[in-house]
Amino acid sequence: MGNTNEQFELGMEAFSGLLDEFRRGNIANRQREKQALDRHLAEMSKRWDRQFPGFPQERYAYASARGVRRRGVRDAYLKTIIVKLLEAERDNLPNRTVVNPACVFGRHARDMARRLRDFKVIATDIFPGSNWLYEQVILRRSPGNYEFRQDDIFEPKVQAAPAAVVFFGACGSLSDAAMDYAIRSSCPYLMCRTCCHDNIAGNTQITRRFTLLNLFFRFKNFSYWWAKKKLKGHYFSAKYSADQYPRSTAARGMSHSEEFIEISRNSVDSDICRAIIDLDRYLHLTESEYGVWYKGEVFVASRDRTAKRHEQM
């Protein structure tokens, strides 16, 4: 699939439309944001729903305290998609290895391993303590096809040539690094949920607003800033500095790094800003010859050889 197909045009139209909404200041207002998102993402949402029906309907904006608390609902839905697709395609895959970067506790990776018995699931994270703590606290034996490896997704050492890269809320640029890992590995599948859009490009500042979520994220970003200053932090990398955003060639023709940082700083309280960042990722993936479906911070992407097959499913 090249840059002239329907999915690319849908992404360009949605990105351009939401970028215009941001420039006109139509953000951080629930009613105006909902109207704009419904208008600009309508065709992309229809395309998703035709392929993956049953997307969890949310009463609240993702950029709200209640919306953030319900991320687990989308994770459960995403895992169902992962299991269904990989089981259906297992005889057509080059191997049966799934890599879950930035796994933290490894909870989702273990769940994948239990449900995908014919696949090996490798969970990676730069900090091994969380995986160890989960095992000690839960006191539940990990599946035999589960393996944890300490690894830095910004400088990945795991060369498993995976059949699928999956993740469930990799903060900021960790999402971009995991996506690039899939691209460099020529991975047939990338399936994920992004989060913490405010932390792309090492950003730790957010636009101050008087909401509970904004207060929480200000506290979170203060701790990130402190870690970045004192310890260099695990959430940041010079490889994903501000000048690397937007990620896609197409988006760079419409925006620039300074504007993208401003978008990230408003993303805590704006679903429009979150979608702009994700749509840039969508375009980056299409430019890398992936067929991409996107809705509500959730991505399903497949290499060209499998994308055409999915359009027929």
Query: Per residue in 176-229, pLDDT tens?
Result: 999 999 999 999 999 999 999 999 999 999 999 999 999 999 999 999 999 888
pTM: 0.94
CATH number at residue 162: 3.40.50.150
Smallest CA-to-CA distance from 99 within 137, 65, 147 is with 147
Total domain count, the chain: 1
Write the pLDDT tens digit of every residue in 57-85.
988 899 999 999 999 999 999 999 999 99
Collapsed DSSP state (helix, strand, coil) of residue 107: helix
* Structural element, H or E, at residue 70: none
Q: Cα-Cα-Cα-Cα dihedral of 259, 227, 284, 41, to 10°?
A: -60
Mean pLDDT for the chain overall: 93
Residue-number span of the structural domain to which 264 is assigned: 6-307
Query: Is 313 inside any structural domain?
Result: no
On the question of a cis peptide bond just before residue 246, with omega within 30 degrees of 0, the verdict is: yes
The number of angstroms, rounded, from the C-alpha of 189 to the middle of its chain's C-alpha atoms is 13
Task: Tell me whether residue 312 is in a domain.
Answer: no
Average pLDDT over residues 19-48: 97
> For residue 195, is it within any domain?
yes
Q: Which of 161 and 297 is assigned the larger pLDDT? A: 297
In a domain, 160, yes or no: yes
Match 């979170």 to its residue by tokens. Answer: 220
Based on its alpha-carbon atoms, the radius of gyration of the chain, rounded to whole angstroms, reads 19
Q: Is residue 31 in some structural domain? A: yes
- What average pLDDT does this structure show over 123-142? 89
Q: What pairing do the DSSP bridges indicate for beta strands 164-171 and 146-150? A: unpaired
Q: Which residues contact 140 (CB under 8 A, 6 or more apart)?
A: none
54 falls within a domain:
yes
Of the candidates 37, 30, 31, the residue with the CA atom closest to the CA atom of residue 297: 37
* Both structure tokens of 49: 């729903």
**Contact yes or no for 290/1 (Cβ under 8 A):** yes
Residue 1 domain-assigned (yes or no): no
Asked whether residue 47 is domain-assigned, the answer is yes
What is the reported pLDDT for 254?
98
Is residue 36 scored above 50 in pLDDT?
yes
HSE at residue 245, side-chain half, CA atoms within 13 A, is 29
Q: Please, which pLDDT band fits residue 17 given cuts at 50, 70 and 90? A: very high
CB 233 within 8 A of CB 251: no
